């Protein structure tokens, strides 16, 4: 869901990736296993979520604040997260969409979740249900350069939209691949400061068309030829939230469309 403004919390943007679909064993389900998920639209709102998908009636859900706490994992190698289940109505809705047993859970307090690798001094270690760090930044000039490579190649796919890379912060005005030079540096966007943790290693989910669910070979084929660094296919910058002076998180710290991006040091 696109937003014009978002409040910045220690674990990322407010409301971002606080809900998770898990299997009967409490393990996260993604588009890797179920491409049907690209047809689902999840729209967050204050205090809840609305689910919508073709052939199913929209479902409005409230954030579950009562009931037994359970533990789930985003991936098998991650520590468990304490969550609350959305309830049987949500589970039935997901079962009709996916054709299998599934549960929807909500992470009420991300403070106990941590980034799965060391973070820089002065950065928050908390994370919601993100793959690694709270934020993923991408650069429109890098996408333009990538699509230029596609035109030069024999690929029948493309140009690819930015949605294929599933970023939650997109910047423009920088040089292609400039974000790779921001690793290890502080980056101010609007009223918040972030830390460039590492360039993002892309997985097979990036090959799934976010409109149709069809799987191709791009962008991994072209990244393997052009952006293969230490056998890692890179696109985008993973960031943590800096605990800068000036008040606690959430007080006046926002990012908005049109904010200036400043690389500090």
Answer yes or no: do 100 and 161 share one domain.
no
**Which pLDDT tens digit goes with each residue over 93-113?**
999 999 999 999 999 989 888
Same domain, residue pair 103 and 141: no
Task: Look at residue 250 in the predicted model and tell me its pLDDT.
Answer: 46
61 with 180, same domain: the answer is: no
**CB environment 182-201: b (16+ within 10 A), e (fewer):** beeebbbbbbbbbbbbbbbb
Strand, helix or coil at 222? helix
pLDDT at 251: 53
Q: Is residue 123 part of a domain?
A: no
Question: In which residue ranges of the chain is pLDDT below 50?
Answer: 250
Query: For strand 135-139 and strand 169-171, is the pairing parallel, antiparallel, or unpaired?
Result: parallel
Q: Sheet holding 12-13: strands in order across? A: 12-13, 5-9, 254-256
The predicted model scores a pTM of 0.92
Domain that holds residue 151: 135-263
Q: Please give the pLDDT value at position 136.
A: 97
C-alpha torsion sign, points 191, 194, 200, 203: negative
- How far is C-alpha 88 from the chain's CA centre? 26
Are both 103 and 223 inside the same structural domain? Answer: no
Domain shared by 250 and 151, yes or no: yes
Instruction: Encode pLDDT of 198-238 as tens digits.
Output: 999 999 999 999 999 999 999 999 999 999 999 999 999 99
Residue 163 inside a domain? The answer is yes
In a domain, 182, yes or no: yes
Does residue 78 share a domain with residue 145?
no
- Asked if residue 169 and residue 79 are part of one domain, the reply reads no
Domain match, 72 and 164 both: no
pLDDT of residue 252: 60
């Amino acid at each position: 869901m696109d937003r014009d403004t978002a409040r910045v919390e220690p674990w990322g943007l407010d409301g971002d990736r606080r809900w998770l679909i898990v299997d009967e064993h409490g393990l996260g389900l993604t588009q890797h296993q179920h491409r049907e998920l690209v047809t689902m639209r999840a729209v967050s709102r204050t205090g809840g979520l609305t689910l919508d998908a073709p052939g199913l009636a929209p479902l409005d859900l409230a954030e579950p604040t009562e009931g037994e706490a359970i533990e789930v994992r985003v991936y098998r190698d991650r520590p468990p997260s304490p969550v609350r289940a959305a309830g049987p109505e949500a589970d039935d809705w997901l079962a009709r969409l996916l054709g299998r047993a599934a549960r929807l859970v909500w992470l009420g307090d991300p403070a106990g979740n941590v980034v799965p690798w060391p973070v820089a001094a002065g950065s928050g270690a908390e994370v919601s249900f993100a793959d690694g760090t709270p934020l993923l930044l991408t650069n429109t000039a890098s996408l333009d350069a990538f699509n230029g490579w596609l035109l030069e190649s024999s690929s029948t796919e493309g140009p690819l939209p930015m949605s294929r890379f599933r970023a939650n912060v997109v910047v423009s005005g920088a040089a292609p691949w400039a974000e790779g030079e921001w690793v290890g540096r502080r980056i101010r966007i609007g009223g918040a400061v972030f830390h460039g943790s590492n360039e993002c290693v892309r997985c097979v989910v990036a090959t799934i068309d976010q409109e149709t669910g069809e799987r191709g070979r791009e962008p991994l084929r072209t990244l393997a030829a052009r952006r293969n660094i230490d056998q890692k296919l890179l696109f985008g910058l993973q960031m943590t939230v800096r605990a800068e002076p000036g008040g606690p998180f959430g007080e006046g710290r926002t990012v908005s469309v049109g904010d200036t991006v400043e690389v500090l040091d």
